């Protein structure tokens, strides 16, 4: 019983060491930004990805309703296409081609409206966490356990980061709508105020003119 506990504790120690290496080696690549896709144009972004990596790309149209989104591999083979959608994503659990992946946003079908788009790109080279194991001749039971746990944690971290990005997207869109509605209410209130003042001035003028006519 003590031997099993010792093995489990040893596995935890190895796991924490590998997680520390994961952060130190900067194996995560994350980009989050906003871009304006002008009317009648298409913009593409390129992300170099290693072989056997997790790759994720997602977007949210903040202003302008919808857009065409597609992802292509380094051989320019289309992997995902979303047409006229406000939001979407594409994820590869394990890339089989190394090179520059293409993420494109096509607004060429809209001749008058620019699109403000929030973009999130993430890649993670899973095997980099376990490079020290590759030079070993054998993997004992404890090391194998830590490897399986590390793989699960890395996948779960990808899911957490993507969910957080989508939450930020929704927050940005809600903030934009609130600001747009606030601006609309502000100018509409000013218009109504001037309209009330103008109506009051006309009423005062005609009432004054009416009394002058009766006096004569």
pTM for this prediction: 0.66
Predicted confidence at residue 174, as pLDDT, reads 74
- Structure confidence at residue 30 (pLDDT): 87
Residue-level pLDDT at 209: 75
| pLDDT computed for residue 102 by the predictor | 96
Residues of the chain with pLDDT under 70: 1-27, 126-151, 153-155, 212-216
Residues 188-208 pLDDT 10s: 888 888 888 888 888 888 787
What pLDDT is recorded for position 24? Answer: 44
* pLDDT in the model for residue 150: 63
Residue-range domains of the chain with CATH: 2-173 (2.60.120.680)
Over residues 133-148, the pLDDT tens digits come to 555 544 555 555 666 6
Spell out the SS3 assignment of the chain: CHHHHHHHHHHHHHHHHHHHHHHHCCCEEEEEEEEEECCCCEEEEEEEECCCEEEEEEEEEEECCCEEEEEECCCCCEEEEEEEECEEEEEECCCCCCEEEEEEEECCCCCCCCEEEEEEEEEEEHHHHHHHHHCCCCCCHHHHHHHHHHHHHHHHHHHHHHHHHHHHHHHHHHHHHHHHHHHHHHHHHHHHHHHHHHHHHHHHHHHHHHHHHHHC
């Amino acid at each position: 019983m003590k031997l099993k506990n010792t093995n489990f504790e040893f596995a935890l120690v190895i796991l924490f060491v590998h997680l520390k290496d994961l952060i130190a080696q900067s194996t995560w690549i994350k980009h989050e930004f906003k871009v304006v896709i002008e009317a009648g144009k298409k913009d593409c972004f390129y992300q170099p990805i290693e072989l056997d990596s997790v790759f994720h790309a997602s977007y949210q149209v903040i202003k302008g309703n919808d857009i065409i989104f597609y992802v292509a591999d380094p051989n320019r083979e289309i992997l995902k296409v979303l047409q006229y959608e406000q939001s979407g994503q594409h994820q590869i659990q394990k890339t089989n081609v190394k090179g520059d992946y293409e993420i494109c946003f096509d607004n060429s079908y809209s001749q008058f409206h620019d699109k403000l788009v929030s973009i999130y790109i993430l890649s993670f080279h899973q095997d980099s966490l376990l490079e020290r194991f590759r030079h070993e001749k054998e993997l004992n039971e404890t090391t194998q356990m830590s490897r399986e746990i590390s793989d699960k944690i890395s996948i779960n971290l990808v899911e957490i980061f993507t969910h957080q990005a989508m939450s930020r997207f929704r927050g940005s869109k809600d903030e934009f709508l609130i600001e747009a509605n606030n601006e609309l209410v502000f100018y509409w209130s000013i218009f109504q105020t001037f309209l009330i003042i103008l109506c009051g001035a006309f009423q005062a003028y005609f009432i004054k003119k009416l009394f002058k006519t009766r006096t004569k």
